[in-house]
Amino acid sequence: MNWVSHTKAQQIKRWAKDLGFLDCGISKADFLESESGHLENWLNQGFHGKMSYMENHFDKRLDPRILVPGAKSVVSLLYNYFPEKVQPNELPRISKYAYGEDYHIVVKDKLNLLWSKLKEEWGDIEGRSFVDSAPVLEKAWAKKAGLGWQGKNGNIIQKKTGSFFFLAEMIIDVELTEDFPTSDHCGNCNKCIEACPTDAIVAPAVVDGSRCISYFTIELKEAISADLKGQWNDWVFGCDICQDVCPWNRFSKPHQDPRLSYRSERLDRTWQQWRDTTEEEFKKLTKGSALERPKWSGFMKNLSHFD
């Protein structure tokens, strides 16, 4: 064992925990050979729908050394977003990850603090950090780093904490002792597959993104097909169904970050209140949150699905 690499790996895990990250795992920055065929097949079957950006940077998605020259380690991190309070069922449903401030900003601020700590302690190092913002196969790296297994709903799942967490990465030019994948614990359970109202989970761990409610309510800019009417279960932004039914999420514990906390001014709005919201009001209500993504026009399109 290389004790320098081992010591540094333990240090970064400790610092990550001190900053509030749920967990941290490490992989060698190398070509993701096992994912190459999966990604190609997923794209060939059109499961990315209108998300054409998924076709870009194929090589970078599979090899972090192309994305970050000189990379030696991929540090995968989890950041809990499971809320203490959830929306009442009768209201327009918004995915739990969007309850508070935009997670891109919240988690990136944490990553910046961790990066500063690494520079302070380790000196001149190079690398980049990401939160769902670059051609990085986050789930593949989290799985490789032993942070959980990829469930039948496609999400990374941990036995002790479930799956309500954000994924983030630091790709750095420091050699660290790598972790190893854990085993799959979905067993014969098919609750997520059976619960998906649009049949988006076409096989274990294979999600047809073009049929996912999150895709329709966030990514799709075009009109929604009439044949999907009545299949959304009141979701107007994102969807948590496949996570809500997962037995492992009974172990989820509320996060401790006030920046991700429940915002009643958005989350307690009724159907009519949202329908009466002007574009200017919408901008004020959603400023600094993930709800900015579809813009007022997209959100109104989502609401019209229920008319």
The catalytic site residues sit at 132
Task: Confirm if 25 and 147 have CB atoms less than 8 A apart.
Answer: yes
SS3 state at 207: strand
Tell me the two tokens of residue 6.
């081992």
Instruction: Give CA–CA dist 16/18, Å, rounded.
Output: 5
Put residue 234 in one of left, alpha, beta given phi > 0 → left and psi -120 to 50 → alpha. left
Q: What is the DSSP string of 77-115?
A: EEEE---SS---TTSPEE-GGGSSS-HHHHHHHHHHHHH
Please state, as a whole number, how many other Cβ atoms lie within 10 Å of the Cβ of residue 142.
Answer: 28
Torsion of CA 149, 154, 160, 165, to 10 degrees: 120
The rounded distance, in Å, linking the Cα atoms of 305 and 307 is 6
Round to whole Å and give the CA distance between 10 and 25. Answer: 10
Query: What is the distance of C-alpha 184 from the center of its chain?
Result: 19
Rounded CA-CA distance 71/171 in Å is 6
Q: Which of 228, 182, 217, 189 is nearest to 205 (CA)?
A: 189
